[in-house]
Amino acid sequence: MSQATTSKTATHGEQFMHAAEVEQGIEAIVNAMRTQAAELTDVRPGRDELRESYEDLMARAAAARGRGLLYPYLGSGLGNGALVELADGSVKWDMICGIGVHFFGHSDPGVVAASIRGAMSDTIMHGNLQSGFEPYEFSELLLEEAAKGSNLKHCFVAASGALVNENALKLAFQKHGAAPRVLAFRDCFMGRTVTMSQIGDSAGNRVGLPLSTLVDYMPFYDEGEAARSGVQKQIDIGCDHLLDYIKRYPKQHACFIFELVQGEGGFNPAPREYFVELMKICKAHDIAVWDDEVQTFGRTTSLFAFDMLGLGEYVDLVTIGKMSQACATLFTEAYNPGPGLLSATFTGSGSACKAGSEIVRRLLSGGYYGADGLIAQHHRAFKEHAEAMVAKHPDWFPEVEPHRMSPSPVSHVGGCGGMMRFSPFGGSKEKVGRSLRACYDEGVILFSCGHGPYHIRMLPPLGVMKFEDWPRVFAAVERGLAKVAG
């Protein structure tokens, strides 16, 4: 409670939230968590006495889900930064973090305390019709930072990245009338609703779905080709493709969806000038510029990737999610919709919104951003260890096989900021898959990206990652890859 708020002016809800016994209770919970988490200091195998019960839990999860889990991963409910304990008593390095959700790792005191405060509200979920202020506080924090370099003015919170993408698409469709088509990059991923599965460039994600959304796919910037033929050639190729689509379907495109660093497609970056020229064409032809930052948000050298690349003047719509816990669609005044278009029973839980606000504040005040911020420093540390592994085991890292429909990497190690990838075994899907399982068994959780070539990716918890953790993580990675190579 602020000093200006007295018991006479505060609501009963405010008095409850800031009562001394509540503060003491939160502190007691966090301290008890710290004590137990401090015991998790390194990778360890599962405990024999828990094996049978863990296998039973896995079987129950598979039966409920309808198929087995990708990894035998069921958390115990506790971790220590980048280390997580599973329900079989094993401890592993978590370098994928729920595909980017847990940027502050496991059992972070500040995030847990914020989540508890959010859970103390009179209801679990906030909604469009009835809500506390938590979603709007979260929105204000995002908009305050976004407004420094863009014309983004409004924000609508929702419970998942796919839903905020759906909302952005609705805003674009309404603004641009009857324009039914969408532009997106090859290898993009948008989520798993019916519409987002159609836009995402993965055939396996839309098997059996009706194809009712008209999507035109653009080539993404190809680093490998740019190294051979020059950056301008790649810009010309992209612009020619875009103009060809516009000529073929005049006034039919509502939006162009930009991933400024491709996520599922392979952690592919592109230079500012590539996006600028495409966005200028969109502006000239009244096509909404939609920046999809569900995976990049918070992970580059700026909170928003559009700020990292200086593209704020061009963006009309921005979607964010994953590490933010609550997700959001940000939009300019020109895309402020008519009544009824954006609504939801749920915008998000109190815990998610409070945790999201805590995370955004810490990101902005914790020295993470800039050319020498913590995220840039961690990316350099990752590259140093990954490149040392490549040099030590050149037979594990043959030349990556290019794919005619996907960008070709310029090196075995790449990515941007907190989006990190390395490419063993020539980018073979089969061997990358085996590598993931072998590394998991050795105590480090990873995932893949790319649609050919395939890469191993990391989305590590850089909010809590220590620089001395990197050699320990790569020791586990090296043990895993050795099993596949050997």
Residue 108 is assigned to a structural domain of this protein: no
CA-nearest of 452, 426, 425, 451 to 439 is: 425
- Scan for tokens 């810490």, then name that residue: 362
How many C-beta neighbours within 10 Å does residue 203 have? 8
pLDDT at 68 > cutoff 50:
yes
Residue 409 and residue 462 in one domain = yes
Tell me phi and psi for residue 422, to 5 degrees: -140, 155
Q: CA-CA distances (angstroms) from residue 217 to 109, 261, 404, 406?
A: 43, 16, 14, 12
CATH number at residue 220: 3.40.640.10
Residue 34 and residue 49 in one domain = no
Residue 327 and residue 202 in one domain = yes
Residue 326 and residue 408 in one domain = no
Looking at 18-148, list the stretches that DSSP marks H as alpha helix, in order from N- to C-terminal side: 20-37, 48-65, 97-100, 109-119, 134-146
Give the end of a domain, one of 365, 397, 430: 365
Query: Diameter of the chain by CA atoms?
Result: 73
What integer is the mean pLDDT of 188-213?
95
Range(s) of the domain holding residue 423: 44-100+371-486
Give the end of a domain, one of 332, 347, 365: 365
What integer is the mean pLDDT of 324-352?
96
How many C-beta neighbours within 10 Å does residue 336 have? 13
Residue length of the chain: 486
Residue 107 is assigned to a structural domain of this protein: no
Write down the pLDDT at residue 178.
82
CA 220 to chain centre: 19
Residue 110 is assigned to a structural domain of this protein: no
Residue 264 is assigned to a structural domain of this protein: yes
Give the end of a domain, one of 365, 383, 411: 365
What integer is the mean pLDDT of 185-214?
95
Q: The tokens of 369 are what? A: 């951003």
Reduce the DSSP state of residue 261 to 3 states and report it. Answer: strand
Q: Which residues of 213-243 are buried (b: 16+ CB within 10 A; e: fewer)?
A: bebbbbbbbbbebbeeeebeebbebbeebbe
Residue 404 and residue 477 in one domain = yes
Residue 66 and residue 185 in one domain = no
Confidence of residue 441 (pLDDT cuts 50, 70, 90): very high
Confidence of residue 410 (pLDDT cuts 50, 70, 90): confident
Cis peptide before 250 (omega within 30 of 0): no
Residue 360 and residue 238 in one domain = yes
Residue 13 and residue 68 in one domain = no
DSSP letter assigned to residue 393: -
- The tally of domains found in the chain comes to 3
Residue 422 and residue 282 in one domain = no
CATH number at residue 395: 3.90.1150.10
Please list, in sequence order, all residues whose beta carbon lies within 8 angstroms of the beta carbon of residue 180, skipping any fewer than 6 positions away. Answer: 173, 214, 252, 254
Residue 161 and residue 294 in one domain = yes
CA-CA distance, 87 to 85, in Å (whole number)? 7
Q: The tokens of 199 are what? A: 């836009």
What integer is the mean pLDDT of 349-362?
98
Q: Which helix (H) or strand (E) holds 15?
A: helix 12-17
What does the pLDDT look like over 89-133, one tens digit per residue? 999 999 999 999 999 999 999 999 999 999 999 999 999 999 999
User: Could you give the angle at the alpha carbon of 230 between the alpha carbons of 226 and 235, nearest 5°?
Assistant: 80
Residue 192 and residue 302 in one domain = yes
Residue 183 is assigned to a structural domain of this protein: yes
Task: Output the pTM of the full model.
Answer: 0.96
What does the pLDDT look like over 205-219, one tens digit per residue? 999 999 999 999 999
Residue 210 is assigned to a structural domain of this protein: yes
Residue 123 is assigned to a structural domain of this protein: yes
What does the pLDDT look like over 276-321, one tens digit per residue? 999 999 999 999 999 999 999 999 999 999 999 999 999 999 999 9
Residue 196 and residue 330 in one domain = yes
Average model confidence (pLDDT) across the chain: 96
Residue 10 is assigned to a structural domain of this protein: yes
